Copies of this chain bind each other. A is one copy, B any other.
Amino acid sequence: MISHNIGRITEKPLTSVIEDYLEAIFNLDQEKKVVRVKDIAKRMNVKMPTVSSMLKNLNSKGLVNYEKYEYVELTKDGADVGKKIRHKHKILLKFLTEILQIEFKVADEEACKMEHTLSSATLDSLIDFMEFIQTCPRTGESWLHYFEEYRRHGRRPEKCQARSKTFSCEFKSQVDSIENSSPPGVVE
C-alpha cells in the first residue's frame, strides 16, 4: 500500500544502528573540519563499504547530504538525532561512572548500548534523580563517597550505620552552607 503522505506520517523509528552512525558523525563533525568515510569506518569499527552503503541509506532518509567522494554532512534532522543520542550517552555515562562508580571504559561501552533503549521519559527521570542526589542535602558528594566505601568493603550495611555520627556532622555543615545560598549544579 503506497502512502501519499511522504512526510511525518510515514515516519518509521530509526534503527539503533542508524542512531549510532548519526551520533558518530555528529561527534566527528565537532572534532574535525570535515568528516570522511574512512573516519566513520574507524569510529564505528566497520569497513568502508559498510559506511558507503549506510550513507546511501542515510541519504535516502534525508539524514545526511552526501555525494560520492565528497565530505559527509548531516542535515538538520540528522544532526538532531545525533545530538539527542549523544546527550543520552553522556547522561548514562555520568550515571554509570559517577553514581554506580563503574570504570570509564566499561561504562562508555555500556552507555553506547543503552543509549538506544533508554526512552526520553526515562532519561528525564534519570536526570532528575542525579540532580536530586547532587542537590539534596541528605546526599551529595559525601554520600556518594560512602557508597564507594560500601562497594569496596562489600555489602555491609552495618558498617554504613556505624558511621551515622559522621553523616550527622557533615550533614549539618552542608545544610548550613546551603541555607546561606549557593545554587546547585545541573546535569549537562
| A residues with CB within 8 A of B | 96, 99-102, 106-107, 110, 113-114, 117-119, 121-122, 125-126, 128-129, 131-132, 135-139, 143, 146-147, 150-151, 155, 157, 160-162, 164-169, 171-172, 175, 178-179, 182-188
A113 to B116, CA, bound (A): 9
Copies in the complex: 2
One of B122, B143, B147, B168 near A96 (C-beta < 8 A): B122
Distance in angstroms between the alpha carbons of A125 and B148 in the assembled complex: 10
A186→B143 CA distance, assembly (Å): 19
Contact partner of A131 (CB less than 8 A), chosen from B101, B117, B155, B166, is B155
Question: Chain B's nearest CB lies how many Å from the CB of A166?
Answer: 5
Pairs of residues from A and B, 6 with the lowest C-beta to C-beta distance, nearest first: A135-B157, A113-B117, A100-B125, A157-B184, A164-B178, A169-B187
* Known contacts A128-B155, A138-B138, A171-B138; A122 and B102 CB within 8 A of each other: yes
